[in-house]
Amino acid sequence: MVEQEKTVITRKGKRGPAPTGKGTLIGVRLHPDLLDWVDTERAKQTPEPTRPEFIRQVLEERKETK
């Protein structure tokens, strides 16, 4: 019987983009009604920002009004 070659899959590096090293990661869970609002409001912008970018924009606007 012929010995089959085994394929070994190895991962190089970690998943996702390389970290920038700037800022602190904060994970936030949103209830469906608030997430719907976020998605509705960011869809009004061109180009549509990502959810994290939209939340950053809202926080910056809030910070400037204080």
Task: Name 54's Cβ contacts closer than 8 Å, sequence gap at least 6.
Answer: 38, 41, 42, 45
Give domain status of residue 1, yes or no: no
Give domain status of residue 55, yes or no: yes
Percent of the chain scoring above 90 in pLDDT: 56
Instruction: Tell me which residue of 3, 17, 9 sits closest to 52, measured CA to CA.
Output: 17
Give domain status of residue 46, yes or no: yes
Range of the domain at 49: 32-65
Q: Which residue type occupies 37?
A: W
Mean predicted confidence (pLDDT) in 48-64: 95
Instruction: Tell me which residue of 31, 32, 33, 57 sits closest to 44, measured CA to CA.
Output: 57
Q: Which residue type occupies 47?
A: P
pTM summary value:
0.66
pLDDT number for residue 29:
96
| Number of domains comprising the chain | 1
Give domain status of residue 5, yes or no: no
pLDDT, averaged across the chain: 85
Cα separation, 46 vs 31, in Å, equals 25
Give domain status of residue 25, yes or no: no
Per the document, the length of the chain is 66
Q: Is the pLDDT of residue 53 over 70?
A: yes
